[in-house]
Structure 1
Amino acid sequence: MLSVVVAPGQGAPVFARGAQVPHDAASTMKVAVLAALYRSGVDWDARVPVVNRFRSLTGAVYGNSRSWDSDPLPWEHLGERVPLRWLAGRMVTHSSNLATNLCLEQVGPEAVAEVWRRAGATGGSPRGIEDYPARDAGVHNRVSALDLVRLLQSLEGEVLALLEHNAHRVDLAAGLPPGTRLASKNGWFPGLRHSAALVHPDDAPPYVLAVCYTGPLAGGHDVEDPAARLLARISRGVWQRRQAIAVASADR
């Protein structure tokens, strides 16, 4: 299933395909955790113990798999204390699963749910990464392409600034001219590839693009993934029509 939504930086979508179809959120949920942290008022300079033991929504205990984490660096600090600000950065710039759960524990799932509600999203991400006890109990992280567009449109400038440092410049970013400014977050594992971005062209107003793909093209690899190339082609096509997005929005 392929879902695509294109919208101006602020405003209603000008193109939608499968906009409200629910997909597994994958790592796109990390954006909502980041926003919840930012809005919580927590001390970003507080030093947080790095552990791999978390409380499931079911009350059970679970941990992350090091081999499934795209960011090895936080694992090197197990048993130490590191600044919360650093963990939040690794969560969205290198998509660290361990950092995500450590950040989520600082604010709690209800604060993350409020981020989605405030954005006007119908989906959400109530459980941590690899909270399999909750998943087995029927609790799933689901989002739609429209949810992701609304989420990006709702974010503060400081949060978007962190998303501009996403190191995984594949899929949507790969379809843009080199050096194009964008705030983005992607997510992938076998069977899905999602990405959402606020793109800042030099010659047109900003626009938001979200693409969610669930299907056999997604091999689960960061770069060498047919689904990533599909998203890049979609991004390239939207870029070529960047001038028309603002016109279409004004006509509405």
Structure 2
Amino acid sequence: MHLNRKAICLITALVCYSATWLVVAGQSRTTLPALRQRIDRELNQQTGVFAVAFKDLTTGNELLIREREVFHAASTMKTPVMIEVYNQQAQGKLALTDSILIKTEFNSIVDGSPYTLPATSDSDSTTYKQVGSKRTLASLVYDMITVSSNLATNLVIERVGAPNVVQTMRDLGASDIQVRRGVEDTKAFAKGLNNSTTAYDLMVIFDKIATGQAVNAEASKAMIATLLDQKFNDAIPAKLPKAVKVAHKTGSINGVRHDSGLVMLPDGRRYVLVLLSKDITDDKAVINAYATVSAWIYQFVTQG
């Protein structure tokens, strides 16, 4: 009888220990509200205004912070422009093999007056050496995304038309993105006629690309392949495992730093993450904060 009582006590202790362990283990799992608070705290340490949009394409979970606030789009607008190229190709209005004459002079949307795109303000120097020659539309789209070429962007926008880009964004459900003009149109800038976006809208279009609904499945697959070749990888991808692939587009101007894209895990799971900012004062610190936030999102998605 004495031994049975010991056995019962031992079993009871083991059950209590197991229950306690399960509670502790359960508490170690990060909830979506807890993740949001953690991200808020991290970004609030920086000077500036920040927006976050995260969507797990497997579970449908979303984390949204200032997702509808309007930001200068900077180079994130190049993703909508790429979508419109594929849209017009699907409609038979152009072909990716079309030849485009390389030039540096464009017309302001304000009054049609000419302005010249300077190589000194562009991350791409190669295309400027090709003025007077021709390049395929496909190659310009590739440079527009992967090295964020402003010259390639202006040539592509001139070909497809900014109003058409906006209409396609509306058709996809992105109600606030505005692509009004090319880059370095100083007269337009002075009048506040800028390209703008919200984190929510960028989340919407990357969701469409991920699910094959941006034009069609074939076009979406091609766009993902281009986005995967992004050369600026110091934000969303920076602290992720190398096996994780990120198809993304960055953007930055003075006081602004963005990253937006599709994160693809080796096991097939995917999620969209958009990080936007304005009025920032420490660009490097913001980039590091973005990389940290991205790592936390990844940990949330992959937690057991």
Please report the TM-score for the alignment, with normalisation by the length of structure 2.
Answer: 0.75
Contact 1:45–1:84 (CA under 8 A) maintained in structure 2: yes
| 1:99-118 matches, cutoff 5 A | 99-118=152-171
Residue 237 of structure 1 corresponds to which residue in structure 2? 296
How many residues in Structure 1 have an aligned counterpart in Structure 2? Answer: 240
Structure with the bigger percentage of helix? 2
SS of alignment partner, residue 173 of structure 1: coil
Q: Structure 1 residue 9 and structure 2 residue 57: aligned? A: yes
Deviates more, 1:49-58 or 1:117-126: 117-126
| 1:241–1:203 CA distance, 2 compared to 1 (3 A) | farther
Deviates more, 1:200-209 or 1:187-196: 200-209
Q: 1:71 aligns with which of 98, 103, 124?
A: 124
Higher-Rg structure is 2
CA drift at 1:197:
1.3
What letter matches 2:231 in structure 1?
A
1:110-161 deviation digits (Å, cap 9, x = unpaired): 1111232123221221111111222223312111111110111123222122
Alpha-carbon distance in 2 for matches of 1:83, 1:123: 27
Alpha-carbon distance in 2 for matches of 1:63, 1:120: 34
What letter matches 1:135 in structure 2?
F
SS of alignment partner, residue 259 of structure 2: strand
Residue 101 of structure 2 corresponds to which residue in structure 1? 49
Residue 61 of structure 1 corresponds to which residue in structure 2? 114
1:23-50 deviation digits (Å, cap 9, x = unpaired): 1000000001111111112121122110
Q: Structure 1 residue 32 and structure 2 residue 80: aligned? A: yes
CA drift at 1:65:
2.1
Q: 2:189 aligns with which of 110, 129, 135?
A: 135
1:58-107 deviation digits (Å, cap 9, x = unpaired): 22222222111011111111111111111110000100000000011110
| 1:11–1:137 CA distance, 2 compared to 1 (3 A) | farther
| 1:11–1:145 CA distance, 2 compared to 1 (3 A) | farther
1:184-223 deviation digits (Å, cap 9, x = unpaired): 000112201000110011236200000001133454xxxx
Give structure 1 stretches of 5+ with no counterpart.
220-224, 248-252
CA drift at 1:234:
0.8
Residue 265 of structure 2 corresponds to which residue in structure 1? 201
Q: 1:125 aligns with which of 169, 179, 183?
A: 179
What letter matches 1:28 in structure 2?
T
Contact 2:71–2:198 (CA under 8 A) maintained in structure 1: yes
Contact 1:10–1:153 (CA under 8 A) maintained in structure 2: no
Residue 240 of structure 2 corresponds to which residue in structure 1? 176
Contact 2:53–2:275 (CA under 8 A) maintained in structure 1: yes
Runs of 4+ in 1 over 6 A off after TM superposition: none
Q: Give the RMSD, CA atoms, in angstroms.
A: 1.8
Deviates more, 1:30-39 or 1:12-21: 12-21
Please report the TM-score for the alignment, with normalisation by the length of structure 1.
Answer: 0.89
Deviates more, 1:79-88 or 1:153-162: 153-162
What letter matches 2:71 in structure 1?
H
Alpha-carbon distance in 2 for matches of 1:152, 1:11: 16
Alpha-carbon distance in 2 for matches of 1:92, 1:189: 16
SS of alignment partner, residue 29 of structure 1: helix
What letter matches 2:68 in structure 1?
Q
Contact 1:3–1:19 (CA under 8 A) maintained in structure 2: yes
Contact 2:73–2:195 (CA under 8 A) maintained in structure 1: yes
Give structure 2 stretches of 5+ with no counterpart.
1-48, 210-219
Alpha-carbon distance in 2 for matches of 1:114, 1:164: 26
Residue 98 of structure 1 corresponds to which residue in structure 2? 151
